[in-house]
Homo-oligomer: A and B are copies of this chain.
Amino acid sequence: MSVHFLGSLLLSHSFLANPLKIFVDSSKKQDKKRSVGIHNSRTQVLECNNNYAKFCRPDYPDQFSCVPISEIQTQPVPVHKDGEDEEDEDLWVTMKDEARSNVHQEPILSNYYFSAILSHDVIESALADHLSVKLSDSSLPSGTLYDLFMSVLTDDSEIVTAVKDDLRAVKERDPACISYVQCFLNFKGFLGCQAHRIAHKLWSQDRKVVALVIQNRVSEVCALDIHPGAKIGRGILLDHATGVVIGETAVIGNNVSILHNVTLGGTGKISGDRHPKIGDGVLIGAGTCVLGNVRIGDGAKIGAGSVVLRDVPARTTAVGNPAKLIGGKQNPVKLDKIPGLTMDHTSDISEWSDYVI
């Protein structure tokens, strides 16, 4: 058999050809957990997708392996290594350093940076504070929101891990992101996603009323409308974020990048499971609608402005209205890199549109 190394962003063909092989353990875990009920459902998604994330995050040196796939498959990487906590602490230290440097450059922002970043020992309180200021209004005081957000973040370390993964994802993938602290303070896609993580936790605890209030405030402040029922993985980039709508029963894997004005919508026919399921490493271009309980396979790319009403196989590229597969339905071109990470919106697609102009 051929031996593949995970250099750069290259997807191992054998890994992707047999994706179930590597997930055997985690899917077993899932089955056990399924009986626990809705409370743990997001956790399941995170866990189920977790191993995949190890391979497709190119910039986590400690998580990124250069051993042959064959060995990885038999030696699953542990999920929370001690090293990670240290790295996570380092992230907040790095962000405070960035903040100090920013204040040095721009003293008129001293108060802003002090209250949002420099006065906080940990990222949890900074996030709760920043979100509560953004989402408060005269009828929803920021103090009430801060207490609520802090209680969730203190309780659920997985959300905090996902927050940090998202920060790294934005910094890596968005050429316009110049620092972690810029993303933390300014990117409404990042902030809306973190508010959703909190709202989803509350939703899963059957605190639907307050979860829906958070959804609404994020929709007003960030123009980003994610139903608190939606399950969203780690390492997510919601770039620009305006006009994004994600429905109640949508599921989004890890390391997914979604541009603005993307809809993961229902079909309206049924009130049950009616929204798309987005695999790991998927890239969805601006203005695209994916409708119905369809599956977008791992590592797939959907071009800007597409309308997708059918499953898209893993590692293929769908474009157009209605969406077509690049290379054709029978023999679609297979991607060898992970579009959710490379953010390559146009290769293949650009050639496809060559004849028109």
Interface residues of A (CB under 8 A from B): 102, 105-106, 108-109, 111-112, 115-116, 133-134, 136-140, 142, 144, 147-148, 173, 175-176, 178, 182, 185-188, 207-210, 212-213, 215-216, 219-223, 225, 227, 240, 242-243, 245, 247-248, 259-261, 263, 265-271, 274, 283, 285-287, 289, 291-292, 303-312, 318-325, 329, 342-347, 349-350, 352-357
Contacts and interface: CB of A to CB of B under 8 A. Distances in A.
Given A287-B263, A307-B304, A108 B347 contact: no
A246 B148 CA distance: 36
Contact of A182 (B212, B221, B245, B350): B212
Most buried by B among A182, A216, A220, A305: A305
A307 B303 contact: yes
B240 A323 contact: no
B259 A260 contact: no
Contact of A242 (B219, B287, B308): B219
A158 to B, nearest CB: 23
A183 to B, nearest CB: 10
A322 B348 CA distance: 13
Most buried by B among A140, A245, A342: A245
Most buried by B among A109, A136, A307, A354: A307
Most buried by B among A173, A308, A309: A309
Contacts of A352: 322
B227 A176 contact: yes
8 contacts: A106-B207, A173-B268, A186-B215, A186-B216, A188-B219, A266-B345, A286-B289, A320-B356
Nearest to A274: B175
- How many copies are assembled? 3
Contacts of A329: 355-357
A354 to B, nearest CB: 7
B260 A209 contact: no
A106 B209 contact: yes
Contacts of A240: 219, 225, 245
Given A260-B263, A268-B345, A221 B220 contact: yes
Nearest to A147: B108
A353 B116 contact: no
